[in-house]
């Protein structure tokens, strides 16, 4: 498999993760009832924030870095 194809696969998976974790983070932080993340202070939180918030920023970083790698590889 070519490196460019692998980068595009990583980008697609990371965008999916970004959308999913963004949805969970939005529901947890701005909704009255949570969809899947536990309440603040409960198991599943780190420094008072739900784990899905950290997942959102991790996937955002992967999307940005993969996009930069794809852009750098183009002739």
The Cα-based distances of 39 to 6, 9, 25 in angstroms read: 37, 34, 12
pTM of the model: 0.77
User: Residues with Cβ < 8 Å from 40, sequence gap 6 or more?
Assistant: 48, 49, 50
Q: What is the mean pLDDT of the chain?
A: 83
pLDDT of residue 15: 96
Low-confidence ranges of the chain (pLDDT < 70): 32-43, 73-75
């Amino acid at each position: 498999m070519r490196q460019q194809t692998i980068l595009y696969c990583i980008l697609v998976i990371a965008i999916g993760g970004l959308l999913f974790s963004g949805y969970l983070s939005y529901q947890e932080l701005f909704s009255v009832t949570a969809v899947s993340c536990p309440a603040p202070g409960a198991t599943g939180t780190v420094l008072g924030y739900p784990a899905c918030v950290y997942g959102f920023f991790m996937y955002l970083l992967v999307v940005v870095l993969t996009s930069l790698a794809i852009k750098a590889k183009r002739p």
